Structure 1
């Protein structure tokens, strides 16, 4: 097993991890990541799909005025869905950064300026959608300019998800980090374009269902805001968009799966995808039947369709996490080993440094200085340097034994009783010869300080 990791590490960049505990249990962070990302993605789909539909309707409105009104109604939802998407995007962004710090950071660093450009691009796109929304009357006579504003916003909003998908995809391929040379290089990795087109189809499908619901509400003043349309026409348009886009997802789904490296494929993943598809098929059948049904029955199974499609999205989102975990598991184990090696080496260096400092400190201190430490350990309870405590001061000892170190050593090891008004001094035979030498040197030299 170790040879496998060694072989892998020779061709894959393996950084050390941050030895910090997760702020929450890993399973809970994964749950937050999956659920919050899917919620965020739905509103991103609505934002992008709404922008595309609004642009299409406004262009068509140049010849058929009623479509201009439809474009205006759809455009009114874009900024709201955009705001919700931004708020819901915080949790998955933080979760993935905590769970996959090394991978998320590495992918972002490798794509460089393009990743950083997401911030100004998002700001520009959002401002353009607001500009488009609130200048409908201002550009009533100049539709080309008004449409151009939305077209630029649409182009930016189409590009931003592509940046995210490229980066998230790059996270899964640590073995490619050593050869990636910027964003354009990362785009050439397998699965980027299939996943992107799958995302575009998803945006249209979700927006189609949203359009069906939004304009089918009894409280919605349909005849006032959309003169020239029947409610059934919009419902049929929404169902048709959702069905066609769902078929597109079904067709491109296998390409998405087969362009993924096999390292992340598992039977669990296959089963999750299978169940997701199995639930989507009856939902698509219900949409088809609704399109063939009489006008009053087109929405008969609408909420069943939404429920089945929602569960499908949950399965597909879970499958994405399963693949990510499978694909990164070997590299994460290697990173763990590298981190342990680093931590062990760090501890070894620190310990060696500590020992070196102790040696250096020992060299710098004189024998007398070291003797004072021995004195403080064994003698300071009864003796002071220059004052009487229980026994005589050290200066007096130094005067008595100034030329007789051997006698001082003998006295410390086995003392007698010299003073009637002082207690018998205990012996200290346990003091080592080295410490005894330091102690007596200190006693005999204190008068010279």
Structure 2
């Protein structure tokens, strides 16, 4: 492996408070919080797209059931965008702790596009709320309403571009150069295949969500909502099966687009067995749905069995992805740590050498009056040799003031004695005894 750039870690011996044992816990929290965040984002993307799709289809076919389906889907959209953003904070903080130099460096290289996560989210959120809460108001202006929803969906689908490119860059430090930028990362094969895999997974996860959502809506007393529940169930099966089958082919492309050393570490640690587990449970879930593919009244037991096995698949995928992530970044983190330790060692040696030189330097005794002048802030406006704000003390010495006179002038200055200078403020807080010693030092400068 070759790293063109090895980032420096935080060059400070930060105290851990004896909590080093928490690192595995942080890794586990990262996997869990990341999964929850991504699942909400998956539903956000899929449900927002489905809502606009059924809204448009309802208009074209003049079918109120499709309009009802579209409206029902706005609820999981607004919930998912809020929960997705909330749960997104945890993995970002954990990544900042565990792989600080990599994530920070990747964010810098990918800026300002990384900032699209902020303003893109704001615009998309506001448009999605407008889309949901003007549903009845804009019922007679469906074209405008659908346009608002379409723009919101388009904005939501652009957000993963900035996020995925930054994460992918942080995971592959062997690809860094001093000229790496957003488009370099986005157009790479590994980033492209991961984005395709992610978008397909969004539709597949939304398909599973539709199965559950449709199951509950079929229990309604409203016939129209019951029909909407059947549409959700029917759509959920297709949305799960088709993207999942495609992802079975995209997955290997994602895996083998990573650098060789990361793939080697991945297989050496046995994470490939999780791929086998994931494929098996996904195939089982697909088989269960295919058996009832034309049954819009899918039994609750079948729905929950699919949810259960897909939960296993999601946990398995999250674990193996973290395994690949650590296989890719562990070598450069070790190099970064070594670089930091070398920097700290050199800094400590330089500090100790400076201390030794200072201790061996001849001691210069500062006159007592000069020390008191520094203590009371006199040297902020005066210098022994040259004019600063006030006159130089050697010029004051030429006035032949007595110590008593200088005490009086410090407590009650006379600006007329020094025309052309900024008037000195009274300093009654300075003890007369201290001023007398300062005066003796000033008069010694004649």
Question: What SS does structure 2 have at the residue aligned with 1:140?
Answer: coil
* Structure 2 residue aligned with 1:30: 27
Alpha-carbon spacing, 1:219–1:82, altered in 2? closer, same or farther (3 Å)? same
Alpha-carbon spacing, 1:220–1:300, altered in 2? closer, same or farther (3 Å)? closer
Structure 1 position 20 matched with structure 2 position 22: no
Deviation at 1:348, TM superposition (A): 0.5
Indicate if the aligned counterparts of 1:180 and 1:186 stay in contact, CA closer than 8 A. no
Deviation at 1:26, TM superposition (A): 0.9
* Structure 2 residue aligned with 1:264: 262
Matches of 1:153 and 1:222 in 2, distance apart? Answer: 32
Matches of 2:44 and 2:282 in 1, distance apart? Answer: 23
Indicate if the aligned counterparts of 1:110 and 1:177 stay in contact, CA closer than 8 A. no
Structure 1 position 44 matched with structure 2 position 41: yes
Stretches of structure 1 that go unaligned for 5 or more consecutive residues are 367-449
Question: What SS does structure 2 have at the residue aligned with 1:260?
Answer: coil
Using the TM superposition, name which of 217-226 and 65-74 deviates more.
217-226
Question: What SS does structure 1 have at the residue aligned with 2:6?
Answer: coil
* Structure 2 residue aligned with 1:283: 285
When Rg is computed on C-alpha atoms for both structures, the one with the higher figure is: 1
Deviation at 1:177, TM superposition (A): 2.3
Question: What SS does structure 1 have at the residue aligned with 2:135?
Answer: coil
Indicate if the aligned counterparts of 2:213 and 2:229 stay in contact, CA closer than 8 A. no
Deviation at 1:329, TM superposition (A): 1.5
Question: What SS does structure 1 have at the residue aligned with 2:340?
Answer: helix
Question: Any idea what the Cα deviations from partners look like across 1:282-340, whole Å, max 9, x if unmatched?
Answer: 11111111215x55555542211111111111111111111111111211121121111
Alpha-carbon spacing, 1:220–1:75, altered in 2? closer, same or farther (3 Å)? farther
Question: What SS does structure 1 have at the residue aligned with 2:283?
Answer: helix
* Structure 2 residue aligned with 1:364: 364
Question: What SS does structure 2 have at the residue aligned with 1:226?
Answer: helix
Question: What SS does structure 1 have at the residue aligned with 2:136?
Answer: coil
Matches of 1:225 and 1:346 in 2, distance apart? Answer: 73
Alpha-carbon spacing, 1:115–1:295, altered in 2? closer, same or farther (3 Å)? closer
Indicate if the aligned counterparts of 1:286 and 1:301 stay in contact, CA closer than 8 A. yes
Matches of 2:353 and 2:223 in 1, distance apart? Answer: 82
Matches of 1:222 and 1:197 in 2, distance apart? Answer: 40
Using the TM superposition, name which of 245-254 and 321-330 deviates more.
245-254
Indicate if the aligned counterparts of 2:68 and 2:228 stay in contact, CA closer than 8 A. no
How many residues in Structure 1 have an aligned counterpart in Structure 2? 356
TM-score of the superposition, structure 2-length normalised?
Answer: 0.75
Alpha-carbon spacing, 1:231–1:181, altered in 2? closer, same or farther (3 Å)? closer
* Structure 1 residue aligned with 2:253: 255
Question: Any idea what the Cα deviations from partners look like across 1:192-244, whole Å, max 9, x if unmatched?
Answer: 111111111111111111112112116853635537x3644431221121111
Question: What SS does structure 2 have at the residue aligned with 1:275?
Answer: helix
Q: How does 1:18-417 map to 2 (within 5 A)?
A: 18=11, 19-21=13-15, 25-64=22-61, 65-66=63-64, 67-217=66-216, 221=220, 223-226=222-225, 229=227, 231-265=229-263, 266-267=266-267, 268-292=270-294, 294=295, 296=297, 298-360=299-361, 362-365=362-365
Indicate if the aligned counterparts of 1:13 and 1:177 stay in contact, CA closer than 8 A. no
Give the superposed CA RMSD: 2.1
Using the TM superposition, name which of 297-306 and 27-36 deviates more.
297-306
Stretches of structure 2 that go unaligned for 5 or more consecutive residues are 367-446
